[in-house]
Amino acid sequence: MAQKEEAAGAAGAASQNGEDVENLDDPEKLKELIELPPFEIVTGERLPVNYFKFQFRNVEYSSGRNKTFLCYVVETQAKGGQVQATRGYLEDEHATNHAEEAFFNTILPSFDPALRYNVTWYVSSSPCAACADRILRTLGKTKNLRLLILVGRLFMWEEPEVQAALRKLKEAGCRLRIMKPQDFEYVWQNFVEQEEGESKAFEPWEDIQENFLYYEEKLADILK
């Protein structure tokens, strides 16, 4: 499994400029794009189509993908049973805070003890060890928080440190799942920009089910 690499910055820059993110074979062009200044944490309601198609694709080898995209649904429930829901997305450039940490810094910086929080993340790849530690610390001090994390890919899953971090998340009550094809469709419908007045159907890529099963097996082995 390739690590998230610096070329993803080029991919992000290319897609922002309307270029083909899958066609970065020119070394000079790649060098030019990589040297662009790093992005800040970006938040919004819907992410561009090109970002979704490139960053969320559940490929086995994630070359060129060093950004993390995190789509979230936050449901808060009062004692009377009333539920309010908010949704949106975060993206990071790994020169700054990762998206998981940015979520707790910007989206949910504090928790009301009178409310219950049910949070669902749809993330392009699973947390690194440092982000897993931040999640653990937040869960440890926030007993009214329930967190479900669905990931498109496993990040550096062969590393013992990462495997141990994922197991600790499970032990702390965090639910971890690999995104199924239906989950990618949900993200497409609810978090990806659509043409005004038109909702285009999600088109699964050829190996989406095969790669889901691949990662599901790897995660089960890690968590058992």
- Reduce the DSSP state of residue 88 to 3 states and report it: strand
Q: Which residues contact 34 (CB under 8 A, 6 or more apart)?
A: 6, 7, 9, 10
Q: Does residue 199 contact residue 189 with C-beta atoms inside 8 Å?
A: yes
Q: Is 100 a catalytic site residue?
A: yes
Q: Exactly one of 91, 93, 100, 101 is catalytic; which is it?
A: 100
DSSP secondary structure letter of residue 44: E
Count Cβ atoms below 10 Å from residue 44 Cβ, excluding itself. Answer: 12
Q: Does residue 124 contact residue 68 with C-beta atoms inside 8 Å?
A: yes
DSSP secondary structure letter of residue 103: I
| CA-closest candidate to residue 181, choices 147, 145, 211 | 211
What's the N-to-C CA distance of the chain in angstroms? 21
Give φ, ψ of 125 to 5 degrees: -150, 160
Catalytic residue ranges: 100
